[in-house]
Amino acid sequence: MDLELGIAGWILSGEILREKTLTLLEFPAVCAKHGVKTVELCSRFFESQDAKYLNELRGKLEENGLSVKSMAVDMGNIAGADEAVRRTDIEALKTWFYTASAIGSEAIRINTGHADDDGAMGRVIDGYRELVAVAEQSGVKLLIENHGGVSSTSDNLQKILDAMDSPWFATCPDTGNFPLGDWEAGMRVLAPRAFSCHVKVFTYSDDGEQTRKDREGNTHTYNLKTSLRILKDAGYTGPLCIESGASGSTQESIRDTLVYMKEQMAKV
């Protein structure tokens, strides 16, 4: 298997959002030191959406030879039952297509959000249909990720994809985000329309088996090698953007996970 490896910005969220030891304008140089050419950004890292800041960011990306495959937009709840709040969220989400276009990002990921009433799925699909029209207008693809809430399960993801027949709507599977027992089904649902992919690594096991415990103490497992094979069988050609690693520090995790991914891809 021969796919490009990239860095998903969230792996550096601790330094940017909590520790405040890194800014988004410094992020490109950090990634370039690891030899990658593709990155994903996150909306929460942006200090501004004004032209001056975006031009500076674009310049930093170009200076370091990086292209942006996608931006993870972490705001809004298109599943929400409060129509006034939902309308504000959707209008705010629309601005991120043009922010992405300004810095050369090919796509943005917008989550379904959370709601558990009978109308949630319909609101999500209506929201995506409104947003995909902006995707086409701006030339920036709209992606869905398995990211909790309505997008948690393979069944729900399939319903959404069945309703969204547009070349401007694609997926960003996250190998480590599926609920217990649903990871393989979820990967098979998302892989055929995948545009980008997040890879979460918890252990550097030879067989690709990944294990972690959630906050409630439940053990989650998935097999990275199987996930890569599913992507390969689906004809996936996009990047594998690492979002977590299993080493001591973030920089060590990026370095070691890039090596580990090359080893795993060679087995598929």
Domain of 10, in residue numbers: 5-266
Q: Which of 47, 51, 37 is nearest to 99 (CA)?
A: 51
Instruction: Answer whether residue 156 shows pLDDT above 90.
Output: yes
Instruction: Answer whether residue 180 shows pLDDT above 90.
Output: no
Residue 215 pLDDT level (bands cut at 50, 70, 90)? confident
Q: What pLDDT score does 214 carry?
A: 84
CA neighbours closer than 13 Å in the CB half-sphere of residue 199:
34
- Compute CA distances 156 → 125, 178, 189, 236, whole Å: 11, 12, 10, 22
In this prediction, residues 6-31 reach a mean pLDDT of 98
Q: What pLDDT score does 184 carry?
A: 97
Q: What pLDDT score does 218 carry?
A: 87
| Spatial separation of the C-alpha atoms in residues 116 and 125, rounded to whole Å | 15
Count of domains observed in the chain = 1
In this prediction, residues 12-35 reach a mean pLDDT of 98
Q: What pLDDT score does 31 carry?
A: 98
CATH number at residue 117: 3.20.20.150
Query: pLDDT (tens digit, 9 = 90+) per residue, 45-94?
Result: 999 999 999 999 999 999 999 999 999 999 999 999 999 999 999 999 99
